[in-house]
Copies of this chain bind each other. A is one copy, B any other.
Amino acid sequence: MISVVILGSGNVASHLINAFENSKEVDLIQVFARNINSKINIKLNTIVSKYEDIVEADVYIVAVSDAAIAEVVSKIPFKNKLVVHTSGSIELLLENVKNRNGVFYPLQTFTKNKEVNFSKIPICIEAENEIDEEVLHKLASSLSGFVYKIDSNQRKALHVSAVFVCNFVNHLYKIGNDICEENNISFDILKPLILETAEKINVLNPEIAQTGPAVRNDIETIKKQELFLKNNKNLEIYKILTQSIQKNE
């Protein structure tokens, strides 16, 4: 049984807490939250808010904002423990000399009020040595069937890719939603299309899956749609993405 303390109370922390509470191979012994009033769903007697109250554990998972990681890590009152962060964009080697560093990066978009199935979430791990790597592998495997060894450079690439395929994609959904609202159309009409576009990626490479006026080089439709778009920002996005599809670099 691996004993774990989670530090943090945001979206990633609360989803991890829920997941570990249902795990039989991991003992979540404590949660540290700087703000004890946070709405994380855990028995109150296992939450502490002072660093000196943190108990000994096999692994400390620091699931706080990137900017806060270094400070929280430095204040863990133990030495030579395995301390991991959950960030896509922070490197393995923090200036944390008193403990061993690692990364436990669940690659998913976590939103309050939206449950996720952790067993299908890829977890990217990285450690300073093989023994720690094995511990992280066990920890990750207790939650998910998809555990990957990913070094810091690869994780950076993954995180940028995730911004494109998740954050930017969601923003395009928002633009679609806005256009529908302005024209008294239910956004529901677009939902099957959104889902099919995402599911298609499981069977087709995105380059092959590309459809639409840009890839067909249907200049007439492109011109009509550019005229249709009254919002300058959306027009600019339309033009740059259309050109990018046409260039296919």
> Does chain B have a CB within 8 A of A93?
no
Copies in the complex: 2
Which among B122, B190, B208, B240 is the interface contact of A237 at CB below 8 angstroms?
Answer: B240
The reply to whether the CB of A42 lies closer than 8 angstroms to some CB of chain B is no
Which of B154, B163, B194, B216 interacts with A165 by CB under 8 Å?
Answer: B194
Chain B residues within an 8 Å CB radius of A153? 183
A189's nearest neighbour on chain B, judged by CB, is B122
* Cross-chain contact B169 with A172 (CB below 8 angstroms): yes
A247 to B237, CA, bound (A): 14
B159 touches A173 (CB 8 A): no
Which residues of A in the span 158-194 have a Cβ within 8 Å of any Cβ on B?
A: 158-177, 179-180, 182-186, 189-194
Q: Which of A106-152 contact B (CB under 8 A)?
A: 107-111, 113-114, 116, 120-122, 124, 146, 148, 150
Report the count of interface residues on A (CB-CB < 8 A). Answer: 98
Residue pair B172, A164 in contact (C-beta under 8 Å): yes
A171 to B228, Cβ gap below 8 A? no
Q: Does A225 contact B (CB under 8 A)?
A: yes
A110 with B211, Cβ < 8 A, contacts A185-B154, A193-B162 known: yes
